[in-house]
Amino acid sequence: MTKEAKVIENIDSYLIKIKKKGYAQSTIKKREQNLSLFKNWLYEKNLQDITVSEFDKRHILKFKNYLSNRRLKEETVSQYLKTVYNLLEYPCDEKPESDVQQIVNHYFMTKGLSLDEIKDSTKKQRIIYSRYTKPAKDLISLAGSVKEAKKAIDKVAAWANSRKLDYAIETVFKKWPEINKLKPKEKKKRAYYKNDPMVWSDSKQRWYVIDKNGEWLEFAGDKKQIEWREED
């Protein structure tokens, strides 16, 4: 018979998994704070050995009263309780990802999706997962390890995204001979003065401001007033 996990043991596992799923840093930090207080409460009430199945509504109510006694706002209390509910419902014993799953999921994460969004899209067949398994497996073989395969995807993603180009796992194969030379496109900077663009004249060695009518006006201000903006 498998030994059931304790609530307090699942906290670290839960936090590790939501970090891997691509949650926003602000969300992760808030849940860490909420669960830190919850963990302290478990020790204070001598509940450090209670299991997930044993932790019921009575304990939730006691924790809620504990929070209310700290004179926290009702909205804040609700946030704490929501985090605890998420912890209790989270499948901390789920199977780890295979090497191929790690690569496919990592590829979609570079596209801006979280792990939950990837799984949801797969269930709804917006993502046909099987289409990506072979190139993922081939990439691991080419790179030599999952870690190096992820690094290669990251390099191609940064290179492509900076140029507003689409890319696939197969793009890594095409760019493999030059993978270590791939760099994100450097954004050009342009000078502005009070939201009007500026132009430098090499012949006259001075700055000009282009006004709303397209007329070039000699810049007579201080160089500190020039604002540099990145442009695609």
The whole-angstrom separation of Cα 230 and Cα 232 is 7
Do 200 and 177 share a structural domain?
no
Strand ranges inside the chain, DSSP E: 188-193, 196-201, 206-210, 216-218, 227-231
**What digits encode the pLDDT tens for the residues 151-204?**
999 999 999 998 889 999 999 999 999 999 999 887 778 889 888 998 988 888
**Domain for residue 24, yes or no?**
yes
**What digits encode the pLDDT tens for the residues 35-57?**
999 999 999 999 999 988 888 88
Q: Which domain holds residue 219?
A: 188-231
Do 137 and 112 share a structural domain?
yes
Do 104 and 45 share a structural domain?
no
Of 3, 4, 69, the residue nearest 37 (C-alpha): 69
**What digits encode the pLDDT tens for the residues 54-107?**
888 899 999 999 999 988 889 999 999 999 988 887 765 556 678 999 999 999
Q: Choose one of 181, 199, 218: the last residue of a domain.
A: 181
The whole-angstrom separation of Cα 117 and Cα 191 is 40
Distances (CA, A) of 9 to 4, 42, 64, 194: 10, 11, 21, 57
Of 180, 80, 97, 179, the residue nearest 133 (C-alpha): 97
The whole-angstrom separation of Cα 44 and Cα 39 is 9
Report the number of distinct structural domains present in the chain.
Answer: 3
Q: Choose one of 43, 59, 89: the last residue of a domain.
A: 89
Do 199 and 177 share a structural domain?
no
pLDDT at res. 2: 42
For tokens 């197969």, what's the residue?
A: 170
**Domain for residue 159, yes or no?**
yes
**Domain for residue 135, yes or no?**
yes
**Domain for residue 94, yes or no?**
no
pLDDT at res. 17: 82
pLDDT at res. 1: 33
